Amino acid sequence: MQATSPAWLRTAIVALAAFLLLACFSTEVSDSDTWLHLETGKYTAEHHQLAIPDPFSFTTYLGTPLPWEETVRAFNLTHEWLAQTILYLTYAAGGFGGMVLFRALLMTAFCGLVGRWTFRRSGSFYSALGAAMVTAFIASYFTSDRPYQITYVLIMATILILESRRWLWALPPLFCFWANCHGGFFMGFVVLGVYCAESLWKRFRGKPEADERRLWLVTAACVPCAFLNPNRFMTLYILLAYKQSTLTSSIYEWQKPPLWPPSFLNLLLLGAAAVLVWQRKRTRPADWMLLGLFGAAYLQAIRNSILLGLVAPMILAAYIPWKQVAARWMDWAIAALLVCAITVPFARGRAFQLQYADWKYPAGAADFLLAHHVTGPMFHSFDKGGYLVWRCWPEERSFIDGRGLNEKAFADYQRMIKYVPGTRELLDQYGIQVVVMNAFEANSGTPYVLPLALADPNEKEWKMVFADSGATVFMRTPPAGVQTLPSTQIFAGMEAQCQAIVDHDPARPRCAGSLGRLFARLGDQGRARRWDDLYRSLTGLAR
């Protein structure tokens, strides 16, 4: 008789896997959208009302809105109020460390629920563990402190409740909570529809489910419960309106994923579809519908990748006839592998980073504005607006931020940031008195033109008053006692900012290449060579 592994070993494996995921998901707070969520949650908690009309940006209500814009604006201001309040209360109780742990727990729970779902379908411990880890790999690209983390957990909770038909009574209050946390509650209705459709299919085949009536009653009860939110059922309309938005279409997470060359997610989708066809006699209608609907959502926007990442691994793990292996040595091997894997995030210094990524944000510039009581209308880059509101409101309000509240302001922002003809007139039109600018666009590493233009030695109107590794500050009229900086300081500031990027995020060294080309055009060959060599060393390019 073959010896079996100790009874406690698989419990230990689950614990090791959970600890590994907690370590991987506990990176520092760094998402640019987090700051407005925090500030909005703080406003809601302290004022006991929703943050509408918008108190944080001075451009929100300027100009004539497009036909659908006011509805989208109201939705963006209110649909996440409960999750934002929870996020702020987490911060108030535990600081940034509490936020990191809260996010890591949510993401680990999400992956664990995928594993539980897979185990229900396959009965295989190894398949469940493998599916959870594949989902975790995909989820790692969404390690952000944002309300959508609650949606991911609640999607999986809904699926498991419907799979087991236990705790069905919990779904109506769950939907009421969910609908006030994130607009993604609409995907919960997609899941309910899938399981109701599967129930109808079984009835059509002459095999009705015993609890069919209870399923439909609970589904019906979820509708009025989810209706109890500030926007009722506007989510579908909002998604259609987003497609008309120039602002939304310019954001990376709303882009459609490229179909070629094949990516891991594209192959995962094709592989899961192929397995369903191959094993069609064993599959359930729910699996086809979930893969079809979640796969379609992924093909519409990169931000929906995680929906594919929860269903495709389950299908692959549950329906591929994996070869059985000797449990005794496999359990010990997996435990050893997990122990080794746990050392990786710790060795990289990315486990349990109970802090925020101060290097990414204009902390010094915010300190300068607060110290000198600067209150004039401010211009800044899109991705730093939320942080500046978090640090400087109500003394300063944002020009533009990740909530996407004014299409015209965003169009003007794009012209101003590139310093196209008419930029000075736009600065005057908006009454801008302060410009707080980081040096590089986040993804491309391309230098912003506006700060370089304002730092021109021949510039008479704007004065550089502050520069560090986070941002450069220009003002029309500096505060009393503040000395203006020489125009050449702009290049030292750009170098400091790029050095901070490559020190903390060496996988994104494009700013170094941009600096190399900039200094080459300026004739500073020493600086050009230094930054070009750094870029090549980080990207593996030969000279």
Give the end of a domain, one of 285, 320, 347: 347
- Based on the domain organization, do 154 and 274 belong to the same domain? yes
- Based on the domain organization, do 100 and 122 belong to the same domain? yes
Would residue 111 count as lying in a domain? Answer: yes
Parts of the chain with a pLDDT under 70 = 1-3, 325-327, 541-543
Q: Which has the closest alpha carbon to 465: 441, 444, 493, 439?
A: 493
What is the Cα 471 distance to its own chain's centre? 23
* 141 secondary structure, DSSP code: G
Residue 541, pLDDT score: 67
- Based on the domain organization, do 209 and 65 belong to the same domain? yes
Q: Work out the angle between the directed axes of helices 525-539 and 510-522 (0-180°, nearest 10).
A: 160
43/68 Cα distance (integer angstroms):
26
Tens-place pLDDT, residues 149-174: 999 999 999 999 999 999 999 999 99
* Strand order across the 463-467 sheet: 378-380, 434-437, 472-475, 463-467
Would residue 267 count as lying in a domain? Answer: yes
Q: How many CB atoms lie within 10 A of CB 432?
A: 21
Q: How many domains does the chain have?
A: 2
Would residue 520 count as lying in a domain? Answer: no
CB 157 within 8 Å of CB 123:
no
Residue 325, pLDDT score: 64
Distances (CA, A) of 488 to 200, 366, 448: 72, 22, 16
Give the end of a domain, one of 312, 347, 382: 347
- Based on the domain organization, do 319 and 378 belong to the same domain? no
Give the end of a domain, one of 347, 377, 400: 347
- Based on the domain organization, do 39 and 161 belong to the same domain? yes
343/439 Cα distance (integer angstroms):
35
Query: What pTM was estimated for this model as a whole?
Result: 0.95
Residue 1, pLDDT score: 38
Domain containing residue 150:
26-347
CB 379 within 8 Å of CB 438:
no
